[in-house]
Amino acid sequence: MLTDEMRKRHDSKEEKYLSSRTSMRDSSSRGQTKTGRLPKPIVLIIGAALLFGFVYYGPFDFLSLSSNTHYVIIIDAGSTGSRIHVFTLKEAGSDGYKLIKDDFYPLEPGLSSYGKDPKQAAQSLKPLLDFAHQKVPVDSHHHTVVKVKATAGLRILSEEVASNILKEVEKFVQSNYKFKTLPQLAQIMDGTDEGLFAWISLNYFLDDWEPVPMKTAALDLGGGSFQLIFETESQEQLPVEAKSNVLTIPVAGMTRNVYVRSYLGMGLKEARKKLLKKIQIDGAEVLTSPCLPEKYEGDWEHGGASFKIQGSSSSSYENCLNSVEETFSGAITPINELLTKDLYAFSYIYDKAKDGGLVSGVEGSVVTVQDFARIAQDACRSQLINQRFQCLDTVYINYLFARAFKLPADFRMHVVKKVNGEEISWALGAAFKEMDERKLS
């Protein structure tokens, strides 16, 4: 369960400034000599230090440098790769923690690719853990928590295979590093937590923690699943089957009703697997789809297996959309309240929007549902061999928005990779939770 510590300080700039001025006056009066004056060289040094600190850190950050520094290591073991976040956090009094730095390093493939060799799966994390070893000061290693949280990639493996991988990961970390290892060092994270933590991270970076209903919704499209999260203001108006997905939790100083749903098996990579149909060609099994370029032939690796894939003579936008509709019809219940939310879409949604020319910089831009329909039509018409999945992927994303959730063509959303310079991920929310549990233990 989340606690009130999971929030960002939201004092106004004026309050922070006045607070810092008061603090400076108090400390100045305490530090005077008996004559009431400091030697001129010391005054100049202190003045320069204060100026540098205020310019570089800002009033609040600079004055909080004396706070305790904590490190939390989170490894996001996803379906397509593993990514490490080494978070540097400072205590912010009653407001929980302030993120100072996120050292990030990704690698591929993911743990699920090593289903037949659990030891190799564990050893694949060595570059990430070595990276953390360098980023965390040596004298902080023994009390720096490391957690490996696997998502949809391991959820879709058999329980035995996934368990063997996680056991080997725990052994590897404990045998080779001096980080603090708690029970369940490596575990499969529930999709609900994944979505909730991503929403918390998003609101943190948006500084959207005022004690009023939050208007922000998050849609995080991963490889194995996707998550939809928002605070509901009218729980009674939700579809009957959606009400069980509402959690009542304390966030940012008040109890909130948060809708969070994880759609396992509907991430982008899993959608591809479902849309690629098996056929026999010259006695060999091949996967094909009208969503692939007609003249394409090649290999595709997914979940530790390799497949032969090729295009279809029926390749077109209309046929691809029909295939998606037939495959996923009825899997998603539309939620009218989503129309009132400020939707942020990220992960693979950003990647595919960028490939289609909808967004450029990492901060993304505001796009419409119709924009996704347009780049999907363009991709299917272009038949580009070097973008073999662009038609399939963008048609699927457009299907989610336009037909599954029934968002109007002119519905506007933020498609982003970063917010205020920080990459959106569930890992920061998970780090806050680890710090809260450490306080309570």
pLDDT tens digits, 19-52? 443 443 344 444 444 444 556 555 455 555 444 4
pLDDT tens-digit map of 350-360? 999 999 999 99
As a whole number, mean pLDDT of residues 129-147 equals 95
pTM: 0.78
Record the tokens describing residue 258, joined without a space: 């948060």
CA distances in angstroms from 179 to 56, 169, 182, 186, 187, listed in the order given: 31, 14, 10, 13, 17
Up-side HSE of residue 234: CA atoms within 13 Å toward CB?
Answer: 10
pLDDT tens-digit map of 222-271? 988 999 999 999 888 899 999 999 999 877 667 889 999 999 999 999 99
Which of 67, 57, 108, 147 minimizes the C-alpha distance to 428?
147
As a whole number, mean pLDDT of residues 141-155 equals 90
As a whole number, mean pLDDT of residues 67-72 equals 84
Catalytic residue among 5, 168, 170, 194: 194
As a whole number, mean pLDDT of residues 367-376 equals 98
Record the tokens describing residue 319, joined without a space: 């046929």
Whether the per-residue pLDDT at 440 is higher than 70: the answer is no
As a whole number, mean pLDDT of residues 75-103 equals 88
Burial-class residue 148 by CB neighbours within 10 Å (0-12, 13-18, 19+).
buried
Give helix 369-382 / helix 390-399 axis angle, nearest 10°: 150
Does residue 364 come out as left (phi exceeding 0), alpha (psi in the -120 to 50 range) or beta?
left
Q: Which residue has the higher pLDDT, 403 or 36?
A: 403
Contacts of residue 7, Cβ cutoff 8 Å, sequence gap at least 6: 95, 96, 204, 209, 251, 252, 253
Report the C-alpha gap between 248 and 228 in whole angstroms: 16
Q: Which of 15-19, 29-33, 413-417 shows the highest mean pLDDT? A: 413-417
Which of 235, 233, 201 minimizes the C-alpha distance to 218?
201
Which of 213, 250, 218 minimizes the C-alpha distance to 232?
213
Report the C-alpha gap between 172 and 159 in whole angstroms: 20
Taking a C-beta distance cutoff of 8 angstroms, is the pair 341, 259 a contact?
no
- Give the residue carrying structure tokens 């591929």: 108
What is the chain's mean pLDDT, rounded?
A: 84
What are residue 286's DSSP bridge partners?
279
Give the length of the chain. Answer: 441
Q: Which residue has the higher pLDDT, 62 or 140?
A: 140
Which residue type does 390 have?
Q
Active site residue 160: no
**Least confident interval from 61-75, 158-172, 402-416:** 61-75
Q: Which residue has the higher pLDDT, 63 or 125?
A: 125
pLDDT band at 141 (very low <50, low <70, confident <90, very high): very high
Which of 188, 186, 184 minimizes the C-alpha distance to 158?
188
* Domains of the chain (ranges, CATH numbers): 13-63 (no CATH), 69-191+425-440 (3.30.420.40), 208-268+323-419 (3.30.420.150)
pLDDT tens-digit map of 309-319? 999 999 999 99
Q: How far is CA 365 from the centre of its chain?
A: 18
pLDDT band at 287 (very low <50, low <70, confident <90, very high): very high
